[in-house]
A = this chain, B = another copy of it.
């Protein structure tokens, strides 16, 4: 988005402009940014270059995150080939699966590794994140093993609530719930 503004020839951007694009208000943008220091110029706005740098640092995007994909099934393969992860700094350094038929299969540059190697791969490759794309029944165990091996965050596709220590963030992707959210909004609109 900031790139678009630069392409339009802007070197600075006001909270008002950011708000319009981000479906929010100018005051909100300023409050949010002020939490991370004050780097806007009064009367002018924010330097797009500086804003990009700051956001990169604030969001922790100023480095490449090493990710291990656990579960080489349907959703796993779609995710593996999703180019945006790499583009945005998430490097899938390994894929593991428990199915002997899949182990050894070549996916692009990577070979599917056996699930038993999960801990050693996390340590050797210094992976910080895992993507959990295994059946719900396996999710809790695999998550625990990952955390014990040193993983710092989990993106969970299994439709279960995973229990891990408080300081390990977990983001859940529950597509059924997203559809249910749509159903709810549609239903509510009809019966107020």
Are A184 and B65 in contact, CB atoms less than 8 angstroms apart?
Answer: no
Closest to A81 in B: B74
A38 at the interface (CB under 8 A from B): no
Check A82/B75 contact, CB under 8 A, given A61-B183, A155-B182, A182-B169. yes
- Name 29 interchain pairs, CB-CB below 8 A, sorted by A: A21-B161, A58-B187, A59-B184, A59-B187, A60-B183, A60-B188, A61-B180, A61-B183, A65-B179, A65-B183, A67-B179, A74-B77, A74-B82, A75-B78, A78-B78, A79-B175, A85-B175, A85-B176, A88-B179, A90-B176, A129-B179, A152-B186, A153-B183, A153-B185, A153-B186, A171-B178, A171-B181, A173-B173, A173-B178
Are A176 and B78 in contact, CB atoms less than 8 angstroms apart?
Answer: no
A109 at the interface (CB under 8 A from B): no
Which of A107-161 touch B at CB < 8 Å?
Answer: 128-129, 152-155, 159, 161
Looking at the assembled complex, report how far the CB atom of A148 sits from the nearest CB atom of chain B, in whole angstroms. Answer: 17
A173: chain B residues within 8 A (beta carbon): 173, 175, 178
A84 at the interface (CB under 8 A from B): yes
Additional pairs, 14, CB under 8 Å, beyond known A61-B180, A75-B78, A85-B176: A21-B161, A60-B187, A75-B82, A77-B78, A84-B176, A85-B175, A128-B186, A129-B183, A153-B185, A154-B182, A155-B175, A171-B178, A171-B182, A173-B175
Closest to A80 in B: B74
